[in-house]
Amino acid sequence: MSAPALYDILAQLPDPRSRHGRRHSLQALVGLVTFGLLMGCKSLEAIAQLGRDYGAPLAHALGFRRKTPAKSTLSRSLRRLDPQAVENTLARWVAGRLPADAAVTSLDGKALRGSRDGTVPGQHLVAAYAPHAEAVLAQVRVDAKTNEHKAALRLLGILPLAGKVVLGDAIFCQRDVADRVVRGGGDYVFTVKGNQPGLAGDVEAGFAFEAAARQVAAAFSPGRPAAAARADGADDRQRARPAGEAAAADDHAADAAAAVAGAGAGL
């Protein structure tokens, strides 16, 4: 079954306008805005002008009965839309285009471009990005009284997490965020930085312990003397090692054992 087209998905948007006096379908209006954004338009005036430039062929293709609407009509219609309804509709379109093996979801926070107005700060969003589809699955607004960490918890509450791997930078490396992913049936890979010195130290100590343990295992591996004996054509157990060689081997084993003990104490 092929994925639905974006224009067809737009027909599922709930229309908040009164039935009386409608001149244009909501699907056609939002379709024109979408087309304008894809063509690089950065304002409603530019989108309205684009519709006039392409004339009747574009108007009929998008579902307008006559000509495309003016800027004022686009503005009034868009202001009445429910942002969450738009998000949900676009999320369904993206989900239908994901391959069956798409298991990676990335969390990222960004400031909405063009949303800052003088001294008024811009809108900040936390988005879930699907690399396989190169599209945003869902996004939530970061309120002025909260942060990206709390917004990520709300976002994870509306995403399917079973069988997914959630990626995120250091700001999402929080116990409750990781717990939300695991309880949803997913796994996570979060970056650890210096803003969490205790956790960073534990991670470094864990890797140091593993490296030291591998050194000890290599030093005392029972396969090493046998392999050396086969290479030399003689049985190493019947050959007396020189004093310098034996001392060097003993020193290496002692150093490796001390490294393991020190790494374990750091944990």
Could you count the other beta carbons within 10 Å of the beta carbon of residue 62?
22
Question: Chain-wide mean pLDDT for the chain?
Answer: 81
Q: How far is CA 116 from CA 113, 125, 145, in A?
A: 8, 13, 17
Question: How distant, in Å, are the alpha carbons of 27, 219, 226, 235 from that of 231?
Answer: 77, 18, 9, 10
> Higher model confidence: residue 4 or residue 225?
4
Higher pLDDT: 141 or 63? It is 63
pLDDT tens, position by position, 199-220: 888 888 888 888 888 887 887 7
For residue 225, the model assigns a pLDDT of 54
Average pLDDT of span 6-17: 90
Q: Which helix (H) or strand (E) holds 264?
A: helix 243-266
Distance CA 202, CA 206 (A): 6
pLDDT above 70 covers what percent of the chain? 79
Q: What is the CATH number of domain 98-190?
A: 3.30.420.10
Q: How far apart are CA 80 and CA 12, in angstroms?
A: 16
Per-residue pLDDT for 14 more than 70?
Answer: yes
Does pLDDT of 260 surpass 80? no
Q: Which two tokens stand for residue 131?
A: 């690399």
Give the residue among 93, 155, 42, 144 at the shortest CA–CA distance from 164. 155
Residue 266: predicted pLDDT: 43
* Domain segments of the chain as ranges: 6-82, 98-190, 197-266
Q: Looking at per-residue confidence, does 51 or 119 come out higher? A: 51
Reported as a single tens digit per residue, the pLDDT across 239-249 is: 555 555 545 55
Assess contact for 156 and 177: CB atoms under 8 A. yes
Average pLDDT over residues 79-108: 85
